[in-house]
Amino acid sequence: MDGVTVLGLGAMGSALARAFLGQGLTTTVWNRTPARGDDLVARGARRTGDVAEAVAAGSLVVVCLTDHDAVAQVLDAAGDALPGRTVADLTTGSPEQARDTAARVRPAACLNGVVQAGPEQIGTPQATFFYSGPPEAYAAHRTAFDALGTAHHVGAEPGLAAVYDLALLGLWYDAALAYLNALALVGGAGNVAPEAFAPFAGRQLGHVVGAADDVAREVRDRAYPRGPASLTEHAPVLEHLVRLRATANLGTAHLEDALSLVRRRISAGHGADGFTSLIEELG
Ligand code: FVH
């Protein structure tokens, strides 16, 4: 593989460039504010003030800027230098924006990447990256991607890495909000100190984590064993919970959704199924 170019030397772009340099890769850097590259130049990076020249210097061009608008502006300035290169855009964005970038740089190959790590973790196995786009472009630059952390190619469709990112963030938001609701419920009902409830909450969240692989298998096989409770048994629990939450002036929308899905499955004759069976009503 020839050299690597990094466009954007904010906290994340600088960490990416440092990791490339740390693995001995020839690294060219560009930033709108050139002085942000001083430390990288001291570590051996080549700096240029011209986007097209920076792009021409690398067979892999890694882009990490504030947002999609900045990416569009910077890549549009690369002009004729793009064909023949692979662009890996690690800027956070939506699946639509990933597709827009892929179309914008064509005929250059484009990988959309997602960083699930902070700058301090870059270059360690703890930094997780998802990439989507042409598999052959990913394979050709695997050495560079491995220099950044643990890399996963999730598919050829350009927007798929962003879907992974948002699905995982959604999982976190749902679980974090569920925990806050539980703390508010016990705090309001019995003035329970959060730290007194925390170990029980941790154990309960652990059940979700522990069941992740089993749930995936059930969804894949479309077979939904009862598990800890059947849908018929879940329904009254959800009804109690919705009432209690409403009394405490806490949100009930998610739980009411769950309850109506449970009722729909029961009406369709699936009351003996386990909770995973709700997937049949989603999407
Ligand atoms: N930092 C983090 O922990 C997170 C981890 C998860 C993923 N994000 C995403 O990474 C993108 C960049 O984030 P960042 O932390 O590096 O951001 P900044 O330090 O603020 O640097 C921003 C860079 O973007 C340049 N820039 C902004 N607008 C333009 C523009 N119109 N034209 C050219 N460059 C632009 C900015 O340049 P300058 O201000 O230094 O001149 C910086 O290089 C982001 O998508 C996160 O969501 C990071």
For residue 76, report the distance from its CA to the centre of ligand 1, in Å: 17
| H or E stretch covering 33 | none
Q: Is the CB of 162 under 6 A from ligand 1?
A: no
Q: Is the CB of 97 under 6 A from ligand 1?
A: no
Residue from 65, 94, 120 whose mutation best tests the ligand 1 pocket (most atoms within 8 A of CB):
65
Encode pLDDT of 76-118 as tens digits: 999 899 999 999 999 999 999 999 999 999 999 999 999 999 9
Encode pLDDT of 145-199 as tens digits: 999 999 999 999 999 999 999 999 999 999 999 999 999 999 988 888 999 999 9
Encode pLDDT of 197-225 as tens digits: 999 999 999 999 999 999 999 999 999 99
3-state helix, strand, coil split of the chain in percent (to 5) is: 60, 15, 30
Tell me, what amino acid is at 31? N
Q: Is the CB of 92 under 6 A from ligand 1?
A: yes
The CA distance from 66 to 73, in Å, is 12
CA dihedral 189, 194, 197, 198 (to 10 degrees): 150
For residue 12, report the distance from its CA to the centre of ligand 1, in Å: 7
Tell me, what amino acid is at 40? L
- Answer whether residue 1 shows pLDDT above 70: no
Per DSSP, which regions of the chain are E strands? Answer: 4-7, 27-30, 46-47, 60-63, 86-89, 109-116, 128-132, 150-155
Report the mean per-residue pLDDT for the chain. Answer: 97
